[in-house]
Each structure stands twice: as C-alpha cells, then as structure tokens.
Amino acid sequence: GCKFDAGQVQQVLEGALASALGTMVYSPQGSAPLAQSLAELLRSQAKEVVPPRYKLVCHVLLGQQGQQSLLVASRALWDPESDSFASATFSNTSLFAVATVHGVYFE
Amino acid sequence: MIFNADEAHNIVKELGYAFRYCRSSSEDFVIESVLGKADYNHNKVNQWTAAIVEQSLTHLVKLGKTYKYIVTCAVMQRSGAGLHTASSCFWDTTTDGTCTVRWENRTMNCIVNVFAVAIIL
C-alpha cells in the first residue's frame, strides 16, 4: 500500500494548529484541556491523510510565550522503511505550540 | 502481550543508577544522570536531549519485547511560564501503552514520554 507521507501530514498539522490557535490567549486553567483537545483534533485530522494499517501517536506541547527556551527531541525504534513522523510549530504573542505525529506501520 | 508502563517507568528511573554516586529515593535516573545538577545551557540542550532519548531507547530494547518504541523528550528553561503537554494515540488499547516521566531542577524542566506500539510477527 502507500506510505506515511511526512510532508502532507506536516501541512495538515500546520493548518490545524493555525486555525485552532489563531489569536488564542494563554490561560493556566484553559490551556490544559486545550492541549488535550488539540492532541485529539490533530490525531484525527492526521488519520484522514495517513494510509490504513498505521498506528498514530500524536504529541502536543502548549506553553506560555515568555523569555524561555525550549527544545523537543524524539527518537524511535521502528522500521525506517515504513514508519515516519511529522512535526509543526505555531506561535503568537501569548502562546506557542509544538505538535508531532509519529506513524507506525502495524505489521 | 500487555505493555507494562511500570516497567518502562522503572527503566527510565533505574538506568542512571549505575552512573550516580549519590543515592536518591525516587528520582528519575536516566534524566538525573544526564541533567543532574547542570544549569540550563542552550548550547548543551541538544546533546542532553539526544542522550536522554538514546539511553531510554537502549534500555527499552533490552526488555526484549516485540514492540516499536517512540521516546520524546522536552527540556524547557524555567522562567515562570506555563507548559502543558498532551497526547492522543490511535492504536490497539489492549497491547499498546505509554508512560510519562517529569523531572525538574532549579533551572529547567524535563518531560519524557515513552510510547510502545505492539507488532505482530
């Protein structure tokens, strides 16, 4: 069948983040459920463009825009022929978000 | 085959024990051995996160289960700003699982996620 298309998934993530967060303002109480609903939204949108038999892991970091520095890294043990990942970031004056989707082929 | 989140959590905790010379009760040892008493350093963050994910992955492999693993690590400078992380997975809930370890010192926060996805051979 087809393979996980990282470029396409990245575009989906970028579009979804921009439209969901747009001019959203960071708030401590609201951002926790927002992060969770974002993760679910991105996962379901990614699922639509990913071929069948792929398991997906969608991970979202949502933070307050400040003077701090942040680095996100990941490593996986998988089959590089079939498995891949895509990531996207979004930021405005109040908050930032980092989203990654890993696609693992279910053999 | 059931994913044992406790096992994965303990691996991340116990890994660095051999490297540590100071005993601590429930610290998260992989992270502790890499970040320990260091202060946030923008130039070193890359090699720190790489070391954490690599060491975690190596020890997960030693469990010898037929799983694919995804390990993510986020290191953030502590500045009073808020941070939330969330994840959503499309998988087989009877065999796949995840665990998260949080760690911090005076100058930085570290969050490590382990996702284990079963494969059928």
Quick one: pLDDT at residue B28?
53
Q: Residue A54: which of A1, A102, A2, A104 has the closest Cα? A: A104
Quick one: pLDDT at residue A67?
80
Name the minimum distance, in Å, from the CA of B21 to any CA of chain A: 27
In a domain, A20, yes or no: yes
Cβ of A78 within 8 Å of Cβ of B42? The answer is no
- What percent of chain B is modeled with pLDDT above 70? 77
- Could you give the CA distance from residue A2 to residue B118 in angstroms, rounded to a whole number? 21
CATH number at residue A19: 3.30.1140.40
User: Taking CA atoms, what residue in B is nearest to A94?
Assistant: B81
In a domain, A76, yes or no: yes
Q: What is the pLDDT of residues B2-35, one digit of tens each?
A: 666 776 666 555 433 322 322 232 235 678 778 8
Cβ of A66 within 8 Å of Cβ of B81? The answer is yes
Mutate to test the interface with A, among B48, B60, B87 (most CBs of A within 10 A): B87
Q: Between residues B57 and B7, which one has the greater pLDDT?
A: B57
- Going by the DSSP 8-state scheme, the letter that residue B64 receives in this structure is -
**Residues A61/B112, Cβ–Cβ less than 8 Å:** no
Element (H, E) at A43: helix A28-49
Average pLDDT over residues B42-60: 85
Looking at beta carbons, which residues of chain B come within 8 Å of A73? 46, 49-50, 52-53, 72-74
- Could you give the CA distance from residue A85 to residue A54 in angstroms, rounded to a whole number? 12
**Residues B115/B60, Cβ–Cβ less than 8 Å:** no
The domain total for chain A is: 1
In a domain, A1, yes or no: no
In a domain, A68, yes or no: yes
Q: Between residues A10 and B27, which one has the greater pLDDT?
A: A10
pTM of the model as a whole: 0.80
The one-letter amino acid code at A98 reads V
Identify the domain containing residue A99 by its residue range.
6-105
- Could you give the CA distance from residue B78 to residue A32 in angstroms, rounded to a whole number? 18
In a domain, A38, yes or no: yes
Looking at beta carbons, which residues of chain B come within 8 Å of A83? 68
| A89 Ramachandran zone, left/alpha/beta (phi>0; psi -120 to 50) | beta
In a domain, A50, yes or no: yes
Token pair listed for A56: 């997906």
Cβ of A57 within 8 Å of Cβ of B86? The answer is no
Looking at beta carbons, which residues of chain A come within 8 Å of B75? 70-71
**Residues B76/A65, Cβ–Cβ less than 8 Å:** no
The one-letter amino acid code at A97 reads A
C-alpha distances out from residue A17 to A12, B4, B19, Å? 9, 33, 41
Cβ of A57 within 8 Å of Cβ of B70? The answer is yes
- Could you give the CA distance from residue A62 to residue A99 in angstroms, rounded to a whole number? 9
Average pLDDT over residues A89-106: 92
Instruction: Write the residue in B52, B72, B117 that is nearest to A55 by C-beta.
Output: B117
Strands A84-91 and A95-105: antiparallel
In a domain, A46, yes or no: yes
In a domain, A92, yes or no: yes
With a cut of 80, say whether residue A31 has pLDDT above it.
yes
